[in-house]
Structure 1
Amino acid sequence: MSSFPGLAHIAITVSDLSASTAWYSALFGAAPVLDEDEASGTFHHTVFALDDGTLFGLHTHTGGGTPTTFDERQVGLDHIAFRCSSDELPGWRDRLDTLGIAHGGIKSAHYGSGLSFRDPDNIALEFFAPPA
């Protein structure tokens, strides 16, 4: 057996697909590559192709419960981190500023440096640079 594989895709559930699609389109600087009802009819997905080949999907489900905002203190997803180099972090900070996306500034630790921010549903996101 080969080494453990990397991620092929990430899919998150959002409360307002059109608002989230516009927000992520601005963040990624790209339009979705897929926007359709899934064949089972139980959810709609809008999918972005990131430069490294990872797919990032936004989902809305039919017949779901009342939408709530994300809380990483609940069981499930804590946050999603996008890999970059430490030299790229200031550029990403500037991009977030240009887009009007609030962030926590660049923070450094022994395990790497990160720039944390949140999407319209409060989902925790980060640009992360592992130590060189």
Structure 2
Amino acid sequence: MAFPGLQHIAITVSDLERSTKWYSALFGADPVLDEDEEGGRFHHAVYALDGGTLLGLHTHQGRESGDRFVEERTGLDHIAFGVGSHADLERWAQKLTELGIAHDGIKKAHYGSGVSFRDPDNIALEFFAAPEG
């Protein structure tokens, strides 16, 4: 039996309105879902990404710690969005620049290339392309 792929990723944000605006600009789309969870424990705005994966922004009704994201803390290190080619990475780096989102440019390694950047809560994000050829 094959292990299943990721269906969704949910991240907790400190300011849902700010993060929803930021991710909507990055994705070029609005959330497909924006509602309170049935039990009232959290509210989420959910985006549908290519390939069927969902990315949810969660707020826990004021119970968030307010701490900025640090990848050295146990838990999430970063989220990588797969792109098809180095040319796609160049286009995404340009879009980040146009949106005023700081990034480190394209970094190359033997296992692939990526462009790293951060969301408003400092969550580490990346566009990543496998090696070509």
Q: TM-score range by the shorter chain?
A: over 0.9
Counterpart in the other structure of 2:21 = 22
- Output one character per residue of 1:107-130: Cα deviation in whole Å (capped at 9) or x when no partner: 000010000000000000000001
What is the deviation of 1:65?
4.6
- Output one character per residue of 1:50-103: Cα deviation in whole Å (capped at 9) or x when no partner: 121110000000251531100000000000000002220000000000000000
Counterpart in the other structure of 1:10 = 9
Read off the aligned partner of 2:96 and give its amino acid letter.
L
Bigger mean CA offset, 86-95 vs 64-73: 64-73
SS of the aligned residue for 2:86 comes to coil
What is the deviation of 1:131?
1.1
Counterpart in the other structure of 2:35 = 36
Contact 2:14–2:64, Cα closer than 8 Å, also in 1 = no
Counterpart in the other structure of 2:96 = 96
Gaps (5+ residues) in structure 2?
none
The TM-score with structure 2 as length reference comes to 0.96
Alignment of 1:1-132 (within 5 A): 1=1, 3-62=2-61, 64-84=63-83, 85-132=85-132
- Output one character per residue of 1:16-71: Cα deviation in whole Å (capped at 9) or x when no partner: 00000000000000000000000010000000001211100000002515311000
Read off the aligned partner of 2:71 and give its amino acid letter.
E
SS of the aligned residue for 1:5 comes to coil
Gaps (5+ residues) in structure 1?
none
Residues of 2 paired with 1:20 and 1:70: CA distance?
14
Residues of 1 paired with 2:50 and 2:113: CA distance?
21
Which structure 1 residue ranges, 4+ long, deviate > 6 Å from structure 2? none
SS of the aligned residue for 1:93 comes to helix
What is the root-mean-square deviation of aligned Cα atoms in Å? 0.9
